[in-house]
Chains A and B, each alone.
Chain A
Amino acid sequence: MKLTGSQIFVKSLQEEEVDIIFGYPGGAVIDIYDELHKSNFRHILGRHEQGVVHAADGYARASGKVGACIVTSGPGATNTVTGIANAYMDSIPIVVFTGQVPTTLIGTDAFQEADITGITRPCTKHNFLVRRVEDLAETIKDAFNIARSGRPGPVLVDLPKDVMQAVTDYKPVSRLSSTDPAHKPDLTRLPDVLDLMSVAKRPVILLGGGVILGKASDELREFARSVRIPVTSTLMGLGAFPGTDSLWLGMLGMHGTYFANMAISKCDVLIAIGVRFDDRVTSKIDTFAPNAKVIHIDVDPASIDKNVRTDISIISDCRPALQLINNMIKGKRFAVPEGQHDDWLRQISQWRSEGPLTYCHSSDVIKPQFVVEKLYELTQGNAIIATEVGQNQMWAAQFYKFDHPNTFLSSGGLGTMGYGFPAAIGAQLAFPDKLVVDIAGDGSIQMNIQELATAVQYNLPVKIVILNNGYLGMVRQWQELFYEKRYSHTDMTFQPDFVRLAEAYNVVGLRATRPEEVEPVLRQGLSTPRTVIMDFHVSRQEGVYPMVRPGDSIAEMDLGGREMIN
């Protein structure tokens, strides 16, 4: 069958069962767009290429499928870089197609030419420049395989205009990629893991985003509950273990709970699953889990011994490893002696009552934590929550209880302001009937606010909750604590009127300035089947606590009453 590059492009997407592509057209991809039009392929038009990539990323995180997007060459391509780096840091499977000038013009500084494969080399799992139409189908197949296999990540495919216009014989590619860099699971050390767990008196499970990416949430729950080991999680792992379970310790790290950080600091065996030991998790590495034997299960060999030295490592997807462990428990080939963790669980309960996760309530001003708590109450934990970056993100992580995987979408590694709203759009498209909420700050919501037009164009009832303190709050908090309150350029002196801005975009705008208005505004906003902005004017100086000072041990926490514990 003779097809053009553009026709092969659409066929290949169909082969990969891509049901939706996010994008923004331009000169270099006009042939592809013509074909998308002719084939009636479902395309979501964003308003900025960064938003387009974040939307594909949010779609991928919520659905567990590969997200796809397409943009034009030059500025279209360079605008995707933040979105790609964001997906790379959090290991999110997306495929980004970029237009390119015709092969005959590559290297001539042609109009809207950018060396996007060169630019994105350090922030993609892999990238391709397709120079011949004959290679196109196979390259797209490889791109999707690489994005989803092993430790997932973004893949970029650069498509020169003449390649997409050229004609060749098309045959669907059936073979699996030969360039898959995934390693075979190595489960040989599982017996050692079980030996260590059977003698552990103070074990803790630390889970990360790998459990969600590896679709191992059910297996993890079964494992933790059957051996009664308490569970903490990185930001990326929230939702993999229920936030309402009695074994749940909350998030650990810089803004982790007192009891999670204490448990890590005093445990004798740390079972780390699908984590990479980011510095926001470990803080001072020498004092991280100082008394623990460390078991590390991860799909990426390069994560093992990168930051934290492990005693036993298993290189595997989380799911098969946990399945095997669970089978051994079920087959009575492994058991923890009755009551072995009782003292430990009692100690944790004591820490829990000594340093609960809390804040000073107020009847005069809206506390941001109160808004998140109310949101949790009203949604009963059943919403998909996206966040922006900064204080809003940490309050969401601390005060919303996530019971299900793939329901917390947040920029963990790169910390990208402006991520949450377009990601929420992507998630809403993956799950049209679910409630999707972006918890935002007044700073970060403005970084991709143009995507309101996208939400309206496609009737997406995304809810935006702005915790509006008129500051770049997290930076302000650091200035307060570490820079003698010199608030250098963190006071957003001018802010738009978000309610009027909502009206301009033809979305619903609501505002609360008093604590008693919080619940009615949330109720009205959440029950409105349209895009809604809820602008909560919150306590301006509120800080995120507990907080571990950068470089300190995670056992040394500022609990916000300004006293340091330990």
Chain B
Amino acid sequence: MEKKAHIFSLLVNNKPDVLARISGILGGRGYNIDSLCVNTTMSPETSKIVLTTTGDQATITKIEKQLNKLVDVLQVSDLTEDDSVQSEMALIRMKVTKENKPELLKAVETFKARILIMGPVCCIIELSGKPDEIESTLAHLKTMGIEDTVRTGTIALKK
């Protein structure tokens, strides 16, 4: 069966060990988490976790069933790309030289990124968008000298 990236959105009780339970049940059964985002919801008693994983449909169904067994997991939604909006954020520290600065500024504008700080030898750029957009932007910026990056996981919300 074809392997596909999947996005799970979980509504969970906001307790200290919930994340360990979720990562434990996936890791213990050999399923990898590709990305992970956690934060509280409008209600302080619950959190929302968005995690992405890759697998064929049978594997994804098994993961969903295992997640549903956890007492602190209140709801599991398997979000597809079509029925949800996805976004991710990246921070990128770039080398700044006299030579690359004009090109860099142009790229920031083209990709609707934002410069958070600009120093004499480096700058930090904030970028958000769909995961594949982030990928392609990073590929482009790489040619100009990326020093370090950090990415949030994918977040997604049903349309």
For B61, the closest partner residue in chain A by CB is: A305
A302–B62 CB distance below 8 A:
yes
B71–A126 CB distance below 8 A:
yes
Q: Is B105 an interface residue (CB 8 A)?
A: no
Within 8 A of B (CB), among A300-341: 300-302, 304-306
Q: Shortest beta-carbon distance, B57 to chain A, in Å?
A: 11
- Complex CA distance for A38 and B117, rounded to whole angstroms: 68
Q: Is B58 an interface residue (CB 8 A)?
A: yes
A302–B20 CB distance below 8 A:
no
- Complex CA distance for A146 and B65, rounded to whole angstroms: 17
Q: A146-B71, A179-B71, A181-B70 are in contact. Are A121 and B17 (CB under 8 A)?
A: yes
Q: Is A118 an interface residue (CB 8 A)?
A: yes
Q: Shortest beta-carbon distance, B139 to chain A, in Å?
A: 39
A118–B28 CB distance below 8 A:
no
Within 8 A of A (CB), among B1-49: 17, 20-21, 24-25, 28
When distances are taken between beta carbons in the complex, the residues of chain B under 8 Å from A179 are: 71-72
Q: Shortest beta-carbon distance, A179 to chain B, in Å?
A: 5
Within 8 A of B (CB), among A146-187: 146, 179, 181
Q: Is B100 an interface residue (CB 8 A)?
A: no
For B63, the closest partner residue in chain A by CB is: A302
Partner of A302 from B21, B28, B66 at Cβ < 8 Å: B66
- Complex CA distance for A224 and B68, rounded to whole angstroms: 33
Partner of B24 from A121, A146, A181 at Cβ < 8 Å: A121
Q: Shortest beta-carbon distance, A147 to chain B, in Å?
A: 11
- Main SS at interface, chain A: mixed
- Complex CA distance for A125 and B71, rounded to whole angstroms: 8
Q: Is B106 an interface residue (CB 8 A)?
A: no
Report the interface size for chain A: residues with CB under 8 A from the other chain: 16
B20–A121 CB distance below 8 A:
yes
A118–B71 CB distance below 8 A:
no
B28–A122 CB distance below 8 A:
yes
Q: A302-B65, A305-B61 are in contact. Are A122 and B24 (CB under 8 A)?
A: yes
A118–B20 CB distance below 8 A:
yes
Q: Is A117 an interface residue (CB 8 A)?
A: yes
Q: Is B98 an interface residue (CB 8 A)?
A: no
Within 8 A of B (CB), among A128-152: 129, 146
Chain B window 46-90, contacts with chain A (Cβ cutoff 8 Å), 1 for yes, 0 for no: 000000000000100110011011111000000000000000000
When distances are taken between beta carbons in the complex, the residues of chain B under 8 Å from A129 are: 17
B69–A302 CB distance below 8 A:
yes
When distances are taken between beta carbons in the complex, the residues of chain A under 8 Å from B68 are: 181, 301-302
- Complex CA distance for A257 and B100, rounded to whole angstroms: 77
When distances are taken between beta carbons in the complex, the residues of chain B under 8 Å from A146 are: 71
When distances are taken between beta carbons in the complex, the residues of chain B under 8 Å from A117 are: 17
- Complex CA distance for A117 and B24, rounded to whole angstroms: 13
When distances are taken between beta carbons in the complex, the residues of chain B under 8 Å from A118 are: 17, 20
Q: Shortest beta-carbon distance, B27 to chain A, in Å?
A: 9
Chain A window 375-395, contacts with chain B (Cβ cutoff 8 Å), 1 for yes, 0 for no: 000000000000000000000
When distances are taken between beta carbons in the complex, the residues of chain A under 8 Å from B58 are: 305
Within 8 A of B (CB), among A179-227: 179, 181
A181–B66 CB distance below 8 A:
no
When distances are taken between beta carbons in the complex, the residues of chain B under 8 Å from A125 are: 71
For A302, the closest partner residue in chain B by CB is: B65
Q: Shortest beta-carbon distance, A27 to chain B, in Å?
A: 25
- Complex CA distance for A32 and B10, rounded to whole angstroms: 38
B65–A301 CB distance below 8 A:
yes
When distances are taken between beta carbons in the complex, the residues of chain B under 8 Å from A300 are: 69
B62–A181 CB distance below 8 A:
no
Q: Shortest beta-carbon distance, B28 to chain A, in Å?
A: 5
Within 8 A of B (CB), among A365-382: none
Supplied contacts A121-B21, A181-B68, 20 more A-B pairs, CB within 8 Å:
A117-B17, A121-B17, A121-B20, A122-B28, A126-B70, A126-B72, A129-B17, A179-B71, A181-B70, A181-B71, A300-B69, A301-B65, A301-B68, A302-B62, A302-B65, A302-B68, A302-B69, A305-B58, A305-B61, A306-B62
**CB-defined A-B contacts under 8 Å, sample of 8:** A121-B20, A122-B24, A126-B72, A181-B70, A301-B65, A301-B68, A302-B62, A302-B65
- Going nearest first, the 8 A-B pairs with the smallest beta carbon separation are A302-B65, A126-B71, A179-B71, A301-B65, A122-B28, A181-B71, A121-B24, A122-B24
